[in-house]
């Protein structure tokens, strides 16, 4: 399959010894991030025993421990895709560390190679499904900001439960945000934006704040496509209350 060849090519390029060492957090260290059908069912139902991250030999754990030791804030780019926003945001803010969450291996590989070629050293990637990474990999109160930019709107009613902006996922985000931490969201889908606002309006643990303003360099690939089609972009931000 052409896609399989592209994935292999991107992953091979990621291991190019002529490039600087990568900060990429490789998939495979933790079965939670690539659950089989049986584990997926346990994770969704929270049936015992649940897998528990003990931090032993875990690159994700080491990433957060190092950031804590250095006194550097961490921000998450959830569903980072090809990483255009994350690269620009990390490059413009060398005093923080950005962790991109993305389940597509080829996208992560290409993003990682591009970041290293640009000399961006405060950016890392985690391959895996976002909701599992948020629940099992990110320590509580360890994140200064979470960006959810142009998530899949899942427009059909029967697929709405797959949307990331739902109360169970917001609970996870609240747990991992430090006091005063920020949640930033953007979408081109008006109905989905309405749902985002409704979900957050019902959560008294957050307060709305002015939306985070992203310049042209921080626009995602999807955003640039939507703007070229004269579509409206809707954005909102919230702060976790003490």
Active-site residue list: 152
97, 67 in Cβ contact below 8 A?
yes
| β-sheet with 234-240: strand ranges across | 123-127, 97-102, 74-78, 143-149, 177-187, 234-240, 206-209
224, 166 in Cβ contact below 8 A?
no
Phi, psi of 179 (to 5 degrees): -55, 130
CA dist 165 and 103 (Å) reads 17
Residues in the chain, overall count: 242
- Residue 20 burial (CB count, 10 A): 12
118, 49 in Cβ contact below 8 A?
no
């Amino acid at each position: 399959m052409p896609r399989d060849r592209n994935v292999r090519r991107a992953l091979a390029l990621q291991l190019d010894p002529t490039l600087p060492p990568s900060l990429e957090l490789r998939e495979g260290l933790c079965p939670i991030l690539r659950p089989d059908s049986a584990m997926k069912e346990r994770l969704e139902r929270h049936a015992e025993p649940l897998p528990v991250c003990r931090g032993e030999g875990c690159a994700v754990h080491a990433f957060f421990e190092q950031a804590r030791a250095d006194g550097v804030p961490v921000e998450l780019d959830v569903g980072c895709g090809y990483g255009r926003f994350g690269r620009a945001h990390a490059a413009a803010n060398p005093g923080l560390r950005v962790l991109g969450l993305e389940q597509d291996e080829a996208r992560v590989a290409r993003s990682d190679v591009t970041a290293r070629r640009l000399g961006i050293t405060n950016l890392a990637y985690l391959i895996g499904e976002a909701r599992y990474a948020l629940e099992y990999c990110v320590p509580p109160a360890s994140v200064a900001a979470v960006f959810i930019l142009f998530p899949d709107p899942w427009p059909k009613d029967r697929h709405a439960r797959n949307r990331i902006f739902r109360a169970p996922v917001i609970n996870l985000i609240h747990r991992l945000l430090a006091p005063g931490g920020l949640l930033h969201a953007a979408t081109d889908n008006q109905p989905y934006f309405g749902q985002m606002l409704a979900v957050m309006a019902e959560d008294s643990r957050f307060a709305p704040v002015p939306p985070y303003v992203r310049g042209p360099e921080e626009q995602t690939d999807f955003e640039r496509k939507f703007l070229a089609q004269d579509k409206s972009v809707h954005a909102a931000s919230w702060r976790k209350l003490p």
